[in-house]
Amino acid sequence: MKKEKVLPYVIGSIAGIAVLAICVYLFCPAINIHNPLLWVIVDIALFVFVVIERLVKGCKDFGFVTVSKKTGSKGRTKKYTKFNFSVKHYIVPISLTALIVLIFFISSTFFNATSYAQILKVTDSDFTADLSESVGTDSIALMDTASAQMLGDREIGALSEVVSQFDVSYDYTQIDYNGKPVKVAALEYAGFFKWVNNKADGVKGYVTVDPVSMSASFHNSQGMKYVPSAFFSEDAYRHIRMQYPTLMLDNLHFEIDENGNPCYVASVVENTIALFGGETVIGCIVLDPVTGETLKYNLNDIPKWVDVVFYGDLICQQYNWYGMLQNGYMNSLFAKKGCKQVTTYYSDDETVDETPVSDYGYVAKDGDIWIYTGVTSVNGDSSNIGFLLANERTGESRYYSIAGADEKSAMAAAEGEVQEKGYQASFPSLINIEGYPTYIMVLKDSGGLVKLYAAVNVEQYNIVTTAVTQSECIEKYKELLGIESDDVTEETESVTVTIASIKYIDIDGNTYIYLIDKENNIFKAKAAENENMLLLNIGDIVELSCVGTDIVACKKIG
């Protein structure tokens, strides 16, 4: 074969391979036949190969061309422009495109409704047994991500040496930290040049936000080099991909272990239906961002301190498959007999498409984080027919058949209780009050500060109470239901602590003082009732008389 005939194929191959390599590096696809992104990248590379090969040959396979045509009896020549496209030379990439579309179609719920419906195993369970009153409000993570971001940014804003080089990631993760719900987010590089300046030392720490005390804390850590905001080989996702090139990964997020050591966790997923359908979780990868060391866990071996493997959006999607497709695909479109789904809402953001999204709350239970969301009939109105509670570590899912108002209706009822203040309710969680399923939530002002707590009865959402504290809100709610208080007074305990931090938080016009000791224990008191505490300073040693975390009396002893 002559050189001029070989050259177009060589140049086309080089261009195709270059595009393939660039895409693989940029998008880090799993080298896995079940990964549709890999198919698309290969298809693009094939198109590039053919286009470059044809251009080098000087062929015009597509575009507008001028054509001459003789017309009339005198043989006059008329010129006109038409669009030309030669299909035969692009038959391979076009065929691959058609194959990808066909595989997506074959993998869809249209052909596999029963298989999709069986991915998530859901068991009917007893509400009062699973959510006993021993799972108190301290286990309910009422704070939404927006409030956590505000508190985290405020905490970092006071650290000038940190805020100039790093931002707090907006990707807060809800975890269970030593039996308490906590939101965590790592610092991240504030751009490429900040990474260049700081990559030798790495990211310096992370933020924790307590959704019960509504306080944030910054924690120093060893330099984290392998993080999502880094570049090139230090990008966390790319670092994991290089070590596990064939695994399909999703939901890379930040967590801390029981000792406060930072890590990143990525769910390992696989498509179980045809090639591209039926995504589910089969394990996880844990990355030490300091050393770059990774550990792979199968689903049954995941350590208990890892909280998020089956992430909330995937659980909601799988439950919708379970609820909608039990009786076949056509039933889900037309008759809709027995069809149900997690409660969905339209985004308040006017800049995005009107696409319904699921929402959910969190409960810290048995050392794990469980997501909670309502379940509604697809033919229903603003009401739930039950609730779903799902473990984000194991995927265990429980259904409770309880009819009542949906979450948005409960939020509107709470907001209406104090409508003159213009407060907005956060997404609620579900608790058990003397056998009554109850929504509990916080009400925030326009600045995002938590002002009140609200409790709303699920079955009768006109039963609503609000109060400054969780405990006061629950007591008022019980009175409204006619439930007598146990009249059991908690014992007052005396503890001696060294103050590590002091926070002053305004809640509905009342200033509350929060003391954090060196062991990160939190104590609180109303400033108006404990004015002597306004004179305390960091480093003071104080003797506190407390009922739980509420300070009854405070005495400075050193």
Residue 7 sits in the same domain as residue 56: yes
Looking at the structure, do residues 449 and 520 belong to the same domain, yes or no?
no
Q: Verify that 447 and 532 share a domain, yes or no.
A: no
Average pLDDT over all residues of the chain: 87
- CATH no. for residue 508? 2.40.50
Distance CA 181, CA 260 (A): 14
Most confident of 69-83, 208-222, 407-421, 495-509: 407-421
Q: 187-191 — which CB contacts under 8 Å span 24+ positions?
A: 187/156, 187/162, 188/227, 188/228, 188/229, 189/165, 189/227, 189/229, 189/230, 190/165, 190/166
Copy the structure tokens of residue 351.
């800049």
**What SS3 class is residue 225?**
coil
Please tell me the distance from the alpha carbon of residue 427 to that of residue 415, in angstroms, as a whole number: 12
Q: Is the pTM of this model over 0.85?
A: no
Q: Which region among 126-140, 472-486, 495-509 has the lowest average model confidence (pLDDT)?
A: 126-140
pLDDT > 70: percent of the chain: 87
pLDDT tens digits along 259-296:
999 999 999 999 999 999 999 999 999 999 999 999 99
Contact 281, 314 (CB under 8 A): yes
Residue 203 lies in a domain: no
CA dist 325 and 331 (Å) reads: 8
Q: How far from the centroid of its chain's Cα atoms is residue 537's Cα?
A: 38
- The pLDDT of residue 485 is 56
* 415 phi and psi angles, rounded to 5 deg: -65, -35
CA separation for the pair 526, 522 (Å, rounded)? 14
Q: Do 425 and 457 fall within a single domain?
A: yes
Region 70-96 average pLDDT: 72
CB-count burial class (<10 Å; 0-12, 13-18, 19+) for 71: exposed
Total domains in the fold of the chain: 3
- The answer to whether residue 545 is domain-embedded is yes
pLDDT band at 60 (very low <50, low <70, confident <90, very high): low
For the chain, the straight-line distance linking the first and the last C-alpha, in angstroms and rounded, comes to: 93
**Residue 86 within a domain:** yes
Give the residue carrying structure tokens 């956060």: 426
CA distance 526 to 551: 9
Same domain, 501 and 482: no
* CB burial string 235-263: b at 16+ within 10 A, e below: bbbbbbbeebeebbbebbbbbbeeeeebb
Q: Is residue 212 part of a domain?
A: no
Query: How far apart are the C-alpha atoms of 314 and 320, rounded to whole Å?
Result: 10
On whether both 450 and 508 belong to a single domain, the answer is no
Per DSSP, helices labelled H in 118-191 are: 127-130, 145-157, 160-163
pLDDT (0 to 100) of residue 369? 92
Final residue of a structural domain among 448, 467, 487: 487
Same domain? 434 vs 519? no
Identify the three-state secondary structure at position 87: coil
φ, ψ for residue 545, nearest 5 deg: -100, 120
Q: Of 487, 520, 536, which one is at a domain's C-terminal end? A: 487
Residue after which a domain boundary falls, among 54, 81, 106: 106
Cα–Cα distances in angstroms (integers) from residue 289 to residues 6, 134, 200, 218, in the given order: 48, 37, 13, 17
Query: Are 414 and 482 members of one domain?
Result: yes
Instruction: Classify residue 214: in a domain, yes or no.
Output: no
> pLDDT (tens digit, 9 = 90+) per residue, 430-461?
888 888 899 999 898 887 778 899 999 998 88
> Do the domain assignments include residue 450?
yes
Q: Examine residue 180 and state whether it is found in any structural domain, yes or no.
A: no
Mean pLDDT, residues 341-356 taken together: 60
**Helix, strand, or coil here: 508?**
coil
d(C-alpha 490, C-alpha 552), whole Å: 12
Long-range own/partner contacts, residues 475-480 (CB < 8 A, 24 or more apart): 477/433, 477/438, 478/433, 478/434
- Segment 232-245, tens digit of pLDDT: 999 999 999 999 99
Statement: residue 83 has pLDDT above 60: no
For residue 455, give the 3-state DSSP assignment. strand
- Supply the range of the domain harboring residue 525: 493-556
Query: For residue 163, is it within any domain?
Result: no
Residue 487 has a pLDDT of 46
Within this chain, do residues 25 and 98 fall inside the same structural domain, yes or no?
yes
Query: What DSSP string describes 382-406?
Result: SEESEEEEEETTT--EEEE---EE-
Per-residue pLDDT averaged across 216-238, rounded? 95
For residues 477 and 497, membership in a common domain is answered with: no
Report the C-alpha gap between 510 and 451 in whole angstroms.
Answer: 9
Structure confidence by residue, pLDDT tens digits, 462-490: 899 999 888 888 889 998 888 765 544 45
10 and 93 fall within a common domain: yes
